Structure 1
Amino acid sequence: MSVTEILQLVDQLVEKQTGKHLDDLEKTVVKGIWQGKTYSEIADECGYDSKNYIGDVSRKLFKTLSEELGEDVNKYNFCWTLERVINFQFVGVNTNITYCPFYPQADTNQSIPDEEKTTKNTIYHDLTLAPKITHFYDRKTQLQTLSHWLTHQNTRLISILGVSGIGKTTLVKHFIDLNLQQFDVIVWKSIKLTQSLDTIITQILTAINPESIQTDNKLTELFNLFRQQRCLIILDDVQEIFTTRQLAGQYKNESKDYKTFFTRMTEIEHQSSLILISQEQCQEMISLDEELYPIKCLELEGVENTELLSKLGLKDESSWLKLIQLYEGNPVYLKNIASLIRRIFLGKVSEFLREDGLLLTEDLKSWCNELFQRLSPIEQQIVLEVSKSNQPLSREDLRQSLSLSSMELINGLQSLSKRYLLKPIEGEKISFNLSPVFREYVRNFCQD
């Protein structure tokens, strides 16, 4: 699609919304953004001393386009938004385009600097460590939310959060399977396998262009890539960069460069996104205001869809919902307990439910033990106390039974909620209850 056609398209959209056509400066700004120029470069071309005025003109244009199209339009999703407008024929321009780079394909006479040739027009998808998704249950709303953040809002830092097995990784992989064409570069990394941020950055840059790597300036090179191409980086098992036996979200000494990286993702201008999949919420997602920074959190809870059990060889379908509720709608917990029901109860869920209390398999005990060992001493005291009661406990109840200061207690409660192990319950008094599976583990295997 030529620059002339882009100008015609934007002019039509602006005229429909405001009744006015683009002026000469606005045309220059549209052309410059389409060509991937910075505000400073556009200002120089127009003869302005400051890039701020060009930025103001751009933001006014983006606001008009957002109002006309009914979605958020900004510098980073400008090209991709116009691509969708054309392909879905929202307006009367018949050109069909399938790839929308931040420079003009048709203008073959325009030279591209050598340092930009190294990364532009590179398609690279590394999903070697991503799981294969065979079934996707009851997450359509969350999938739509994630798609909106990445497709329409260009959110740069997203956390997908929840306990182990709840479906965080499945949700992200399903989104990628549906949206591969939206990103030039997609890389999936597991922190459990590679904890070093420097190693991860080196692997990404080497895959895209090994000749350009400068060993003392890799982070700058990575953000140059993020500016020039639309990248999606997924980091799975992010809780592994946090210290065990301390409150949630405390970085290991050797992992503090991640903190800088996450913050830079929100502060530096680029067109790429980073997804963090974690059992613990990192501090940046709490301290940064979503209204001021391009960040979002998606917290996953259990599902209540009996289709989840339909392929697990179980009987007594009328009892399935009760089983799902007993194990918190956690897909991994349910698949694990279904194996036990098939082997010992011949698949009869109603027979299994006659057992006294919630049963834990060896795998469930192992997962819970791993969680318990990550807790700080303060958190362990709290969960041990809460697990003794079948009823939620208030702060006053816990304060009377534990030798903790008010600050220690509140910090411990907050940390447990950031691990998605403890839920506040609103009532006459705010009280707290443990995840049923984790409570059963603590009650039976962690008491003195």
Structure 2
Amino acid sequence: MQFYSSPSQPPNREQRHEDIFQKIDLSLAPEIIGFSRRETELKMLENWLLNKGKSRLISVLGVSGIGKTTLVKRFVDQHLDRFEVIIWRNLKFPESLTSLVNDLLKVSEKEPKGTVSDRLKQLLGFFTEKHCLIILDDVQNLFTRGALVGQYERDYQDYQNFFRAIADLEHQSNVILISREKCREMECLDEQLYPIKSLELSGLEDVEILRTMGGGLLKDEDNWLKLIQLYQGNPGYLKQIAFIIHNIFDGHVADFLAENSLIITPEMQFGFQQLFERLSPIEQQLILELSQLDKPVTREDLTESLQLSSMDLINGLQSLQQRYIVTKIRENRLLFKVCPVLREYLIRCQK
């Protein structure tokens, strides 16, 4: 656990006491080795978190490997002196809200008092008193497996009210939620009026991705963009594939592409299997049907091919989009398609 006492006043901050209060706990935050081409997203976070009228609840969303955690950690590293308290927590193995609140209070040097309700009021009061930044990673683990997206497990339902309170009550602090799934508390129809923002990350189409993750491993730079597009600009996928190309093809990207096959690594297969098991039965039907189709389809097409009610079909499509594994395409009609890399896995492994 890292604790810092800042001897000087943070930039662009109101004048305060001579000794500046600062507590930083990044003991559970990852170290960032390489970072590329997310300057626009960094600027958005800066505007939301540091400018006047800043947002209190921000979600950074997208599929596994797309760079959510890397982006947030990069922002934190660049702005350590802009907050009085920074705490990073990972919910890969979630704890109760009571335990989390106690933890946040203790790191902030506040002794937890009274009931759970008293401690929540104590924490929110501290968020008003100090400029805090709290990051919660892997928030999707609060949600129920086998159900539509964003439904909280029974043991973690208190988090829903906690997130609402963060957004609704006036204070000067910020909470960032990093998740592969979107829940209702992360949504806002008018982000100009409410202090809630969502940043949905998509793939990157820039050869700089491969260069920053070890460009010396790969050859045939003229083919790098084709490789990136094949794996949808997902840095996590590309890192795994880069090692395969280095080990099996002596770094020759052109030879790998000549195989004319979308390779799904064991690590990808494990991740996709976990993802599939998190889906509701309705979503599993939809995603398997979409994977059998070689082109985007309309909602009417899916209605004809599946024995689902209109309500189940609509809710299922909405849920899959909020997991970022089905996307929509606006042409003459609204079309839906499954992520190509996931589609390849489903064709091969979920027959």
TM-score interval, normalised by the smaller of the two chains: over 0.9
What is the SS of the residue equivalent to 1:271?
Answer: coil
Q: Which amino acid aligns with 1:139?
A: R
Residue matched to 1:122: 21
Q: Which amino acid aligns with 2:107?
A: A
Contact in 2 for aligned 1:163/1:279 (Cα 8 Å): yes
Contact in 1 for aligned 2:93/2:141 (Cα 8 Å): no
Residue matched to 1:214: 114
For 1:199, which of 71, 90, 99 is the aligned residue?
A: 99
Q: How does 1:154-303 map to 2 (within 5 A)?
A: 154-211=54-111, 213-216=113-116, 217-286=118-187, 289-303=190-204
Distance in 1 (CA, whole Å) between partners of 2:9 and 2:74 is: 25
The answer to which structure, 1 or 2, has the higher relative contact order (CA under 8 A, 6+ apart) is: 2
Can you list the C-alpha shifts for 1:310-350, whole angstroms capped at 9, x where unaligned? Answer: 21401111110000000010001000011111111111111
Instruction: Give structure 2 stretches of 5+ with no counterpart.
Output: 1-7
Q: Which amino acid aligns with 1:240?
A: N
What is the SS of the residue equivalent to 2:59?
Answer: strand
Q: 1:353 to 1:98 in 2, by over 3 A?
A: closer
Q: Which amino acid aligns with 2:346?
A: V
Q: 1:165 to 1:202 in 2, by over 3 A?
A: same
Residue matched to 1:360: 264
Q: 1:101 to 1:405 in 2, by over 3 A?
A: same
Residue matched to 2:42: 143
The Cα of 1:102 is off from its aligned counterpart by: 7.0
* Residue 250 (structure 2) pairs with residue 346 (structure 1): yes
Distance in 2 (CA, whole Å) between partners of 1:307 and 1:101 is: 35
What is the SS of the residue equivalent to 1:219?
Answer: helix
The Cα of 1:98 is off from its aligned counterpart by: 4.2
Distance in 2 (CA, whole Å) between partners of 1:211 and 1:370 is: 39
For 2:290, which of 378, 386, 390 is the aligned residue?
A: 386
Distance in 1 (CA, whole Å) between partners of 2:201 and 2:59 is: 11
If you compute each CA radius of gyration, which structure gives the higher value, 1 or 2?
1
Contact in 1 for aligned 2:187/2:198 (Cα 8 Å): no
Q: 1:210 to 1:265 in 2, by over 3 A?
A: closer
* Residue 276 (structure 2) pairs with residue 372 (structure 1): yes
Q: Which amino acid aligns with 1:220?
A: K
The Cα of 1:357 is off from its aligned counterpart by: 2.5
Distance in 2 (CA, whole Å) between partners of 1:192 and 1:212 is: 24
What is the SS of the residue equivalent to 2:294?
Answer: coil
The Cα of 1:268 is off from its aligned counterpart by: 1.2
What is the SS of the residue equivalent to 1:393?
Answer: coil
Distance in 1 (CA, whole Å) between partners of 2:158 and 2:138 is: 16
Can you list the C-alpha shifts for 1:401-423, whole angstroms capped at 9, x where unaligned? Answer: 10001111111111000000001
Contact in 2 for aligned 1:124/1:208 (Cα 8 Å): yes
Q: Which amino acid aligns with 1:391?
A: K
Can you list the C-alpha shifts for 1:29-84, whole angstroms capped at 9, x where unaligned? Answer: xxxxxxxxxxxxxxxxxxxxxxxxxxxxxxxxxxxxxxxxxxxxxxxxxxxxxxxx
Instruction: Give structure 1 stretches of 5+ with no counterpart.
Output: 1-95, 107-119
Distance in 2 (CA, whole Å) between partners of 1:288 and 1:220 is: 28
Distance in 2 (CA, whole Å) between partners of 1:158 and 1:304 is: 25
Residue matched to 1:105: 17
Distance in 2 (CA, whole Å) between partners of 1:195 and 1:279 is: 18
Aligned length: 339
Q: How does 1:432-443 map to 2 (within 5 A)?
A: 432-443=336-347
Contact in 1 for aligned 2:10/2:82 (Cα 8 Å): no
When normalised by structure 2's length, the TM-score is 0.92
Residue matched to 2:5: none
Q: 1:325 to 1:98 in 2, by over 3 A?
A: closer
For 1:429, which of 319, 329, 333 is the aligned residue?
A: 333
What is the SS of the residue equivalent to 2:135?
Answer: strand
Which ranges of 4 or more aligned residues in structure 1 deviate by more than 3 Å? 96-106, 210-216
What is the SS of the residue equivalent to 1:305?
Answer: coil
Contact in 1 for aligned 2:249/2:256 (Cα 8 Å): yes
Q: 1:288 to 1:103 in 2, by over 3 A?
A: farther
Distance in 2 (CA, whole Å) between partners of 1:400 and 1:436 is: 23
Contact in 2 for aligned 1:195/1:241 (Cα 8 Å): no
Residue matched to 1:324: 228
The Cα of 1:299 is off from its aligned counterpart by: 0.5
Q: Which amino acid aligns with 2:50?
A: T
When normalised by structure 1's length, the TM-score is 0.73
Q: Which amino acid aligns with 2:17?
A: Q
What is the SS of the residue equivalent to 1:233?
Answer: strand
Q: What root-mean-square deviation, in Å, do the aligned CA atoms of Structure 1 and Structure 2 show?
A: 1.8
The Cα of 1:213 is off from its aligned counterpart by: 3.3
Can you list the C-alpha shifts for 1:89-134, whole angstroms capped at 9, x where unaligned? Answer: xxxxxxx95478778538xxxxxxxxxxxxx953110001111112
Can you list the C-alpha shifts for 1:202-231, whole angstroms capped at 9, x where unaligned? Answer: 111112225453344110110111011000
Contact in 2 for aligned 1:194/1:200 (Cα 8 Å): no
Can you list the C-alpha shifts for 1:172-227, whole angstroms capped at 9, x where unaligned? Answer: 00001110000000000001134322111111111222545334411011011101
Q: 1:123 to 1:385 in 2, by over 3 A?
A: same
* Residue 30 (structure 2) pairs with residue 131 (structure 1): yes
Distance in 2 (CA, whole Å) between partners of 1:341 and 1:122 is: 50
Distance in 2 (CA, whole Å) between partners of 1:278 and 1:159 is: 7
Contact in 2 for aligned 1:188/1:233 (Cα 8 Å): yes
